[in-house]
Amino acid sequence: MMYIIMLGAPGAGKGTQADILSREIGLPRIASGDLFRQASEEGTRSGLAAKSYMDKGLLVPDDMTTKMISERLGRPDCASGCILDGFPRTLHQAEVLDRALEEQGKRIDEAIYIEVPDEELVKRLSGRWLCRTCQTPYHATSSPPETPGRCNKCGGELYQRSDDRQETVRERLSVFFAQTVPILDHYKKQSKLIRVNGNLGIQGVAGAIISALKASLPS
């Protein structure tokens, strides 16, 4: 059983690394942003409400977010663990998650913080393309798809996120520093924080994450 959190600024590589780790250790990747985008594409009331915050680069309110994630974590595929990508993002969310897991005799094992300089984040987000079907991220120069415009895994159509516009990216970054950075301390106090240099190639970062996890988890 293993519950892992991926932390990092917008564009740090949470989705990319959670996807690699998910294949490596066989646990599902649960991405709050993907769940909100899916709900907004489906046009549900909560999906459209979430979109109004996402398009401004703001966080979706805690109550909507924790409700959505609790429902997702309650599904059978998460019973023996998962990799959380993009959740928690506020101290309140981190505390709710700790309590919810504790009630089931579970806990977060590690929180991986991928550190990347701001100027690199902006470059990554402006070149990002995502699969509309399976959400796999690509990058125009650092990880282009084999066939332009198509996902390597499922052949789905690639698109650019509406919140990757420059002004929205700036807002997302400032929200990250104000609301999410404080939770690093929460996991540090629990001796669960692993800091990884995210300013390497994708495989280099993946290798660093896997060796840090091997070093900190009992085999």
Closest-by-Cβ residue to ligand AP5 is 33
Of 123, 150, 161, 165, the active-site residue reads 161
Q: Among 3, 30, 73, 86, which residue sits at the site for ligand AP5 (rule: CB under 6 A)?
A: 86
- CA dist 218 and 11 (Å) reads 30
The helix, strand and coil proportions of the chain, stated in percent and rounded to the nearest 5, come to: 50, 15, 30
51, two tokens: 């979109």
- Taking the complex as a whole, how short is the minimal distance between the CB of residue 88 and ligand AP5, in angstroms? 6
Residue 84: Cβ within 10 Å count:
26
| Among 3, 5, 7, 16, interactor with ligand AP5 by CB under 6 A | 16
Which of 51, 89, 106, 124 is flagged as catalytic? 89
Does 29 engage in binding with ligand AP5 (CB under 6 A)?
A: no
Considering the rule CB under 5 A, would residue 11 count as an interface residue with Mg ion?
Answer: no
Bridge-based pairing state of the strands 137-139 and 128-131: antiparallel
128 catalytic per annotation: yes
Among residues 8, 15, 47, 198, the one that binds Mg ion under rule CB under 5 A: 15
Which tokens sit at 69?
């994630």
DSSP single-letter state for residue 90 = S
Question: Residue 155 region, left (φ>0) first, then alpha (ψ -120 to 50), else beta?
Answer: left
195 is catalytic: no
Task: Tell me the two tokens of residue 157.
Answer: 């159509």
Closest CB to ligand AP5 among 30 and 213? Answer: 30
Give whichever of 14 and 72 is closer to ligand AP5, judged by the CB atom. 14
Residue 15 or 57: the one with the smaller Cβ distance to Mg ion is 15
Is 107 a residue of the active site? no
Indicate which of ligand AP5, Mg ion, none lies near residue 11 (CB less than 5 to 8 Å, by partner kind): ligand AP5
Q: Counting contacts by CB under 6 A, is residue 47 touching ligand AP5?
A: no
**Identity (one letter) of the amino acid at 84?**
L
Give the Å distances, CA to CA, from 154 to 84, 135, 147. Answer: 22, 10, 12
Nearer to ligand AP5, 27 or 205 (CB): 205
CB 204 within 8 A of CB 210: no
Per-position b or e across 40-52, b if 16+ CB within 10 A of its CB: beeeeeebebbbe
Binding site for Mg ion (CB under 5 A): 15
Residues that bind ligand AP5 (CB under 6 A): 8, 10-16, 32-33, 36, 53-54, 57-60, 65, 86-89, 93, 124-125, 127-128, 137-139, 142-143, 172, 198, 200-202, 205
Kindly list the catalytic residues.
Answer: 14, 89, 128, 161, 172
